[in-house]
Amino acid sequence: MIILRYLSKEVINSLLFVVIILLFIFVSNQFVRYLADAASGQLLAGVLPRLMLLYIPYLLAFLLPLGLFLGILLTYGRFYNDNEMYALMSCGMTQRQLILITLKIAILMSLIVSFLTLWLDPRLLIYRNHIMAESRGANLIQTLQEGRFQSDSSGRQVYYIETLSRDHEQLNNIFVAQQKKNEPDFWDVISASGGYAIPDQKTQDKFLVATEGFRYSGKPGEVDFYIGQFEKYGLRIVSKSAPVRSQLEGVSFSELLHEMKLNNVLAYAEFQWRFAMPVATILLALLAIPLSVLRPRQGRFAKILPALLIFTVYANMLFVARHWVEQGDIPPSLGIWSVHAAMLLLIFILLMDLPRLWRTRKKMFKRFIA
């Protein structure tokens, strides 16, 4: 129990150190991206703090497995380098006990990651997509300027407002050119004396309501076009919709199981992905045990580079396997599970060689203290 507390404390301290550094790096990078979107008019600056807070739990689901992996490598590597591990061996600690102690730490972290990937992140993703969609629509209205042609984020709508109120809610002398999505040569042109912006109460999409104007529809250069007059005409402010994968990322676990019953390959890929990080947490912790063993005259950071290379290959293969399942290139029964199986085989091979390394270093330690 004392050894368990000691090892757990050292591993968790290293884990927190690694995760905090990585979290700072990735959060700073994402914040710069959001700032660029805000500067280009795609996001409201006021929503940035909320978006960053929603991004942190999503990021932690990926950083905790990596942080635990590096934390065990650094902690056990220091123990080997300082001969503490061999002192523990001489006191009777076995390889099996070290694996069990590491597994207890890994299972605890895996439960935390499972809570993030299976329950919290899908709910936060829905809220984040809602904020971003609402912000993009509202931001276009807020950034409209008098006497200038401006386009939305999709590039399919162009606006010209002669004058507008201080709160950007009332607009005068409006010109809007809208390109059809499936017919790029077909345009709707709206010319109105005034207008105002309102949100849809159900979908929360932003609408620009033009009043007292005309609508011209057709292809430029052709005589066959439509002219209509209206008192009110609503235009939905186009914002980038979430891709299908993002929509599935936000569904509940029961809804995901329902989609799987309909043989939706995207649902199978999302189901396996939600379990990928919790499983990876345990596998990476076990992988760190043999990788942390240092040979004579090796520094405590000697195994970091090989370990990171293995982690990079493993992580990339998880993403590739997910893509293959989504595209139907491999059956869902293989999918991401095959990558975990390959990693488990590698861990088994390395752990089989661990007793030999322990015996060699234990003899050297006994000669050292003799």
pLDDT digits (tens, 9 = 90+) for 34-54: 888 777 666 777 888 999 999
Domain-embedded: residue 331:
yes
Same domain, 230 and 276: no
Residue 367 has pLDDT above 80, yes or no: no
Phi/psi at 247 (5° precision): -65, -40
Most confident of 37-51, 78-92, 177-191, 227-241: 177-191
Tell me which residue of 252, 278, 249, 335 sits closest to 62, measured CA to CA.
278
pLDDT tier, 244 (very low <50, low <70, confident <90, very high otherwise): very low
Residue-wise pLDDT for 86-104, tens only, equals 777 777 777 888 899 999 9
Q: Are residues 277 and 229 in the same domain?
A: no
| pLDDT band at 296; cut points 50, 70, 90 | low
How far is it, in rounded angstroms, from Cα 48 to Cα 52? 6
Q: Work out how many domains the chain is built from and give that number.
A: 2
Nearest to 310 by CA among 334, 278, 339, 336: 339
Please say if the pLDDT value at position 182 is more than 60: yes
Strand ranges, E, within the chain: 149-151, 157-164, 170-179, 187-199, 206-218, 226-236
Query: Are 104 and 178 in the same domain?
Result: no
Looking at the structure, tell me whether residues 222 and 259 fall in a common domain: no
Task: Output the average pLDDT for the chain.
Answer: 83
Q: Are residues 126 and 167 in the same domain?
A: no
Could you tell me if 214 and 265 lie in one domain? no
Kindly state the average pLDDT of the residues 280-305: 86
Which of 126-135, 244-253, 319-328, 360-369 comes out lowest in average pLDDT?
Answer: 360-369
| Among 185, 211, 236, residue at a domain's last position | 236
| Domain encompassing residue 227 | 154-236
Burial 311-340 (b: 16+ CB within 10 A, else e): beebbebbeebbebbbeeebebeebbeebb
Are 81 and 7 in the same domain? yes
Q: Which of 95-99, 141-145, 176-180 is predicted with the least confidence, judged by mean pLDDT?
A: 141-145
Average pLDDT over residues 324-335: 91
Query: Does a structural domain hold residue 141?
Result: no
CB 216 within 8 A of CB 225: yes
- Poorest-pLDDT segment among 131-140, 190-199, 301-310: 131-140
Are residues 92 and 121 both part of a single domain?
yes
Q: Give yes or no for residue 368 having a pLDDT over 50.
A: no
Q: Give the confidence band of 110 by pLDDT, cuts at 50, 70, 90.
A: very high
**Same domain flag for 263 and 292:** yes
- Domain membership of residue 146 (yes or no) is no
Final residue of a domain: which of 207, 236, 265? 236
Answer with the one of 236, 259, 285 that is the final residue of a domain: 236
Distance CA 256, CA 266 (A): 10
Residue 145 belongs to a domain: no
Which amino acid is located at 363 in the chain?
Answer: K
220 CB-near residues (< 8 Å, 6+ apart): 185, 187
62 lies in some domain: yes
In a domain, 148, yes or no: no
Please report the DSSP string for 286-352 in residue order: HHHHHHT---TT--TTTTHHHHHHHHHHHHHHHHHHHHHHHHTSS-TTTHHHHHHHHHHHHHHHHHH
Q: 62 has which bridge partners?
A: none
Phi and psi dihedrals of 203, rounded to 5?
A: -95, -15
Q: Above pLDDT 90, what percent of the chain?
A: 37
Name the nearest CA neighbour of 170 among 148, 146, 205: 146
Residue 285 to residue 306: CA distance in whole angstroms: 15
Per-residue pLDDT for 14 more than 90?
yes
Q: 289 and 180: one domain?
A: no
The pLDDT of residue 113 is above 70: yes
Same domain, 173 and 41: no
Residue 144 lies in a domain: no
Residue 256 falls inside a structural domain? yes
CA distance 212 to 207: 16
Q: Are 23 and 166 found together in one domain?
A: no
